[in-house]
Amino acid sequence: MKRRWIMLLALVLVFTMVFAACGPKQEAPTEDKKTEETEKPAEDAKKEEPKEDEKKEDEKEPAEEPKKDGDYWTKATQPDLNPQLATGRGKETLVVGSAQFNGVFNPFFRDTSYDQNIIDQIFDTTLKNDPEGNIIDNVCKLDIVSATEYKLTILHDVKFSDGKPVTGDDIKFAYLLAGHPDFDGIANFDDAKIVGYAAYQKGEAEDIEGIVVSEDKKEVTITLEEGNVLFKFDTSVPIYPSHYYAPDGKIDIAYIRSLNEAPMGSGPYKFVSYTAGQEVVLEANEDYWQGKPQIPNIIFKIISSSAELSSVLTGDVDIMEINATTDNRMEAEKAGFLDLCVYPTNGYGYVGMNQKANPILADKTVRQAIAHSINRKGVTEAVYGEFGNEINIVQSRVSPYFTDEGVNKYEFDLAKATELFKEAGWEKNANGILEKDGQPLKINFLGMEDNPVQQILVPEMIKDFKEVGIDFSVEYVDWATLSNRVTEQEAEMWFMAWGLSINPDNANIYGTDRDQNRLAYSNPALDALYKEAYKETDEAKEKSIWGEIYRTINEDAPAIPIYQRSDMIAANTRVQNLVASPYYRVYWDLWKATIE
């Protein structure tokens, strides 16, 4: 008997270990607020989320968009092959495929962009951006009175889905919620330096002094302690019905969280139900301020990653983001009834280096030599084929802020790398390893084994680094461990991806001692450029300063950008009038879509 107990315990233990040891694929949906970025392992497309600014800027503009034949769409060739499963649903119901929901349908508390896609249907935003990435009016218009004063004015007679009007208090509510002392969601305006925000956050004030709602409740004026023109990106916030989320006028975080599965807002659709692991059902908000949505019912159905393409082929779902691969493209084209949308992902994969974890990397020339030793073009080609481009600056090639003027392209060139190492004082020793003052050039890389990019990138780096004389070792860990060690500045070299937003600001990553600077990188000249950019109200000059910033980062190579991949959306051709771009998620304008 005794022995069996011990066996049992052993079994449970083994079970635990196995359980604790197996790391599945990362789906790190994340995004971040105001700064551009989401760092996650770049793996298959849909697993890394397109990030967007924390504020979902949703909706579209009143101007007529061209039909699904913008630059990014390829039309279906044989619409008559459409499966009965899809056509049989009729014109009343649209089914959108999605990865797993966590059921946190609250803009400031949700962790994943999948939950955000639901939120985008239910909540409206003060401002939004157009498909090119420029901020435009939505419920409100923004006046930049000065670099320290921002005024939001409600333009339309907008009502929440319970019939109550949207007022300035509802707009202010977003700031009061994110700054609340008990708030533990993801949104924050911490570094915007709004007057009185810090005192409110510490619990020393009942209100944020610098956010004033006018008498007629139509205007909200926000005052900053110091000028920052990028604050305009922080004025696009979700509009919460404050009477619903704080019925007695007091913010109670526990109560707000209890409404995660009962969201209410002023967006085009109303929440009907959520079935864990299965689907979310939405119905049109008849009184939506921009007009009644064309399709009365939308269902977001959870589709597992292995069945993304199959689910649109069978007609189970009408719209699905699928991995941008040549195989998927060909199969979708062969089906004949799918419209495909392909656009450059708003983000980039990069090899990061931490100058504190490995002081050898603190030498700019060494980093440049390493940049020349990575076959970025070959790796990108091998992993993404037609759907990836190597990238030289840390900004999307379709961004209004993009520049390639005076940018070092760091061609893959081991001879050039050797030359640069020599310049930095590194010479090969008898074992073929680079050495300086008796010290070998050792670098340890933290990798993830089940990541499709690294499966190609890492072996290639091992081969080329060996040739150039770097003593290169690789250690594989799971995503959570990698992310932790990178954040703690313990990783010497790694591969990850950043997502971008319409906001060009990346000071949080490349600025000296900033929160997300996991490179231990510092360049005072760059810090000065950021300060200059924040103050520049002239748009053309502002863009040229950002160009200078990207050039500086490219020159210093604190991290080496590798590629920009693509996103692909497959939509059943019965659905028309969809709008999507790198800056415009296809979900934002579902209310304008029609079913033929």
Partner 1 sequence: MLQYIGRRLIQTIPMLIGISLILFIVFSLMPSDFIDLQYANVKISAERLAEIKEKHGLNDPTHIRYFRWVSNMLKGDFGESSQFKKPVTTVIGDYIWNSFLLAVVAQILAILIAVPIGIYSAVKQYSIFDMLFTVFALIGISIPAFFFGLVLQKIFAVDLGLLPLIGMRTAGSKLTGFADALDVMRHMVLPVVVLTLISVGGLMRYTRTAMLEVIRQDYIRTARAKGLSENVVIYKHAFRNAMIPLITLLGFMLPGLFAGAILTESIFGWPGIGRVALQSINQRDYFFLMAFNVLMSVLTLAGNLLADLLYAAADPRIRLQ
Residues 502-541 that bind partner 1 (CB under 8 A): 508, 515-516
Q: Which of residues 464-493 bind partner 1 (CB under 8 A)?
A: 477-481, 483-485, 487
Q: DSSP per residue over 9-55, as a string?
A: HHHHHHHHHHHHH-----------SSS---EE---SGGGSPPP--SS
Q: How many CB atoms lie within 10 A of CB 385?
A: 13
Instruction: Please report whether residue 501 would count as binding partner 1 according to CB under 8 A.
Output: no
**Is 96 in contact with 11 (CB distance < 8 Å)?**
no
Contacting range for partner 1; rule: CB under 8 A; set: 241-249, 295-303, 353-361, 533-541: 295-303
Token look-up 């991290």 returns 559
Contacting range for partner 1; rule: CB under 8 A; set: 7-15, 225-233, 355-363, 393-401: 7-15
Q: Which of residues 42-61 bind partner 1 (CB under 8 A)?
A: 51
Instruction: Please report whether residue 93 would count as binding partner 1 according to CB under 8 A.
Output: yes
Contacting range for partner 1; rule: CB under 8 A; set: 36-44, 213-221, 371-379, 395-403: 36-44
Q: Please identify which residue in 61, 191, 450, 527 interacts with partner 1, judged by CB under 8 A.
A: 191
Q: Please identify which residue in 277, 437, 524, 540 interacts with partner 1, judged by CB under 8 A.
A: 277
Instruction: Please report whether residue 332 would count as binding partner 1 according to CB under 8 A.
Output: no
Please list the alpha-helical segments (H only) found in 336-438: 364-373, 376-384, 414-423
Size of the site for partner 1 (CB under 8 A): 80
Q: How far is the CB of 415 from partner 1 (least distance, A)?
A: 38
**Is 325 in contact with 385 (CB distance < 8 Å)?**
yes
C-alpha 33, offset from chain centre: 9
Q: How far is the CB of 280 from partner 1 (least distance, A)?
A: 10
Which is closer to partner 1, CB of 214 or CB of 484? 484
User: Residue 430 has what DSSP assignment?
Assistant: T
List C-alpha distances in Å: 219 to 67, 169, 189, 356: 35, 9, 20, 48
- C-alpha to C-alpha distance for 41 and 38, rounded to whole angstroms: 10
Q: Please identify which residue in 64, 80, 157, 184 interacts with partner 1, judged by CB under 8 A.
A: 184
Token look-up 């604790």 returns 20
C-alpha 475, offset from chain centre: 27
Q: Which of residues 343-382 bind partner 1 (CB under 8 A)?
A: none
Which is closer to partner 1, CB of 129 or CB of 483? 483
- Site mask for partner 1 (CB under 8 A), range 102-121, x = bound: xxx----x-x----------
Instruction: Please report whether residue 276 would count as binding partner 1 according to CB under 8 A.
Output: yes
- Torsion 101-103-106-112 (CA) sign: negative
Which is closer to partner 1, CB of 333 or CB of 423? 333
Which is closer to partner 1, CB of 220 or CB of 313? 313
User: Residue 66 has what DSSP assignment?
Assistant: P
Instruction: Please report whether residue 304 would count as binding partner 1 according to CB under 8 A.
Output: yes
